[in-house]
Structure 1
């Protein structure tokens, strides 16, 4: 099958032309009743404190592909698109397994690849053998602190497949995530993220995955 989908050309993704990027991550959670206090703290800590944080409401679909019939983790692709801005491109994301080779690391480190695609993305990934594992709606606030992205996200279950109006909160809490995308081998990021996370205590405790 041809991979000539606008914005997605898997046939040309080789080690020589795909940038070697890693995602550095810390995660925590906050109950809904304390969310406003965390937002207030982030407004003070992050860039552009005089402007409100960016809001998002996205639909994400998670696809799996088992490379062989034996044991091992399947390949996972994530397809996400904005429900607030439906004309924006879909985003295809690959996130690798956490790198646990260095136990002294302060944050989770994993390989990362992200690209914009056309709205044919769900059909494309199923045509090449992936199957839909689960889907959800994520909405919340996003802040920036230099190269770091900070999100507070409420996750909703989709009660009826295909109906994004029938939703139910997954829990009474929200996911708080700090992340930085940087070239492989970048030093000092973990310490910077740890220092920022310390300023969120005791409202949120950020941890490695």
Structure 2
């Protein structure tokens, strides 16, 4: 895989690892992870945590052309349940 990446002219700037759990609720996928880093690329002993915080992600998959309003409401409703303990923010990858 790395040969292919290098052939594209890309280079590694940083490397991070996540460890955690994934939960499902219907079509929702919720992952709760801790983010760690290594001092040397490819060496995964003695990992250092970025912070004491957890990374929480909520996602949902929809078929193409499907109405997304009910799915968006399901994600928002679940995020609102987490509001007392974490601040969920919407990411828009298209901008």
Shorter-chain TM-score bucket reads 0.7 to 0.9
TM-score (norm. length: structure 1) = 0.40
Equivalent residue, structure 1, for 2:89: 207
Can you give the 5+ residue segments of structure 2 that lack an aligned partner in the other structure? none
Query: How far does residue 195 in structure 1 lie from its aligned partner after superposition?
Result: 0.8
Structure-to-structure mapping, 1:13-162, within 5 angstroms: 121-162=1-42
Can you give the 5+ residue segments of structure 1 that lack an aligned partner in the other structure? 1-120
Equivalent residue, structure 2, for 1:169: 49
Separation in 2 of the partners of 1:130 and 1:182? 31
TM-score (norm. length: structure 2) = 0.81
State whether residues 135 and 157 of structure 1, in contact with CA within 8 Å, keep that contact through their aligned partners in structure 2: yes
Structure 1 stretches of 4+ with a deviation exceeding 4 A read: none
Per-residue deviation, residues 28-50 of structure 1 (Å, max 9, x unmatched): xxxxxxxxxxxxxxxxxxxxxxx
Separation in 2 of the partners of 1:193 and 1:167? 32
Per-residue deviation, residues 160-195 of structure 1 (Å, max 9, x unmatched): 222111310001101111011224443222111001
Equivalent residue, structure 1, for 2:80: 198
Please tell me the root mean square deviation across aligned C-alpha atoms, in Å. Answer: 1.5
Tell me which protein shows more helix as a share of its residues: 2
- Larger RCO (CA within 8 A; separation ≥ 6): 1
State whether residues 140 and 151 of structure 1, in contact with CA within 8 Å, keep that contact through their aligned partners in structure 2: yes
Tell me which protein shows more strand as a share of its residues: 1
Number of residues paired by the alignment? 89
